[in-house]
Amino acid sequence: MKEHRHISAQFEAELQTLQGKFAAMGGLVEEQVRSAVSAFKTIDLSLAQSVCTRESQVNQLEMEIDQETTTIMARRQPTASDLRLLVGLLKSSTDLERVGDEADRIAKVTINTKPSSPPLDDLRSILEDVATLENLASKMLRESLNQFARKDESGATATIEADAEVDRVYNSVIDSCSEGMTRNPSHVDEYMAVIWVARSLERIGDHAKNIAENTIYSVQGTDVRHPNIPQ
């Protein structure tokens, strides 16, 4: 159904600006995750450092979105779909900021871990699973942001369902690392680094799922977070 414009052109502009800012934050956070994982895989310390440096930009955007949403709520008294959109934006920007924190954690793991020489074959195969995890979590994040922007609640439902696969691969990585540490106790630090990165990627999937849930709330007004609690 075609959305009509608000009578107040200024309110319309404010909502669009806020959504634009959220999209920019999403783009920045996606790039942070991509760079952080790339830095980890290639042990690129300067790239990891640049991820840590940019973390403050993500935080800055979150604060601006919070402040502007508060101002719009105080001055425009949004109702119905406008109110749900702003609540969804406020909650989703918190999730995005936490995704930024996870990218920062991955970058710090890269900076603080000393790789072995020569590398373990065992770890190489686990890193393939980590790459799969990264692809799944990044796809969830990208799609959840697109769905929020396009008000695509059916796509958001698919994103929520995709989190189960992220959890499955994550558990597989954890199991493999546990076994690897038993076999190669002198390389515990490297296995732990992989576990930390996998854990961050799994958390990124959770945050993308939250954003997808916020999309459904914004569009339909339905709270799908806890299906076992009757609404």
Partner 1 sequence: MSEERADGHDASTEIPEIPTPASSIEEAPSPNEWKDEDICLTVSDLCLHYGDNEALTDISMRVVRRRVTALIGPSGCGKSTLLRCFNRMNDLIDDVRITGEIELNGMEIHSTSVDIAQLRRRVGMVFQRPNPFPKSIYENVAYGLRLQGGLPKSEIDDRVEWALKNAALWGEVSDRLNESALDMSGGQQQRLVIARAIAVQPDVLLLDEPASALDPISTLKIEELIHQLKQDYTILIVTHNMQQAARVSDYTGFLYLGKLVEYDTTNIIFTNPSEKRTEDYITGRYG
What does the binding site for partner 1 look like in residue numbers (CB under 8 A)? 7-11, 13-14, 16-18, 20-21, 24, 27-28, 31-32, 35, 38-44, 46-47, 49-51, 54, 61, 64, 68, 70-72, 74-77, 113, 115-119, 123-124, 127, 190, 193-194
* Complex with partner 1: residue 77 or 228, whichever CB lies closer: 77
Residue number, 110 or 210, with CB nearest to partner 1: 110
Q: How far is the CB of 145 from partner 1 (least distance, A)?
A: 13
d(CA 88, CA 18): 12
d(CA 72, CA 83): 10
CB of 141 to partner 1, least distance (A): 15
Q: How many angstroms from the chain centroid is the CA of residue 173?
A: 19
The angle formed by the CA atoms of residues 212, 215 and 218, to the nearest 5 degrees, is 155
Q: Which is nearer to partner 1, 50 or 132 (CB)?
A: 50
For residue 44, the minimal CB distance to partner 1 (Å) is: 4
Are the C-beta atoms of 217 and 80 separated by less than 8 Å? no
8/90 Cα distance (integer angstroms): 22
Amino acid in position 221 = G
Whole-number minimum distance, CB 70 to partner 1, in Å? 6
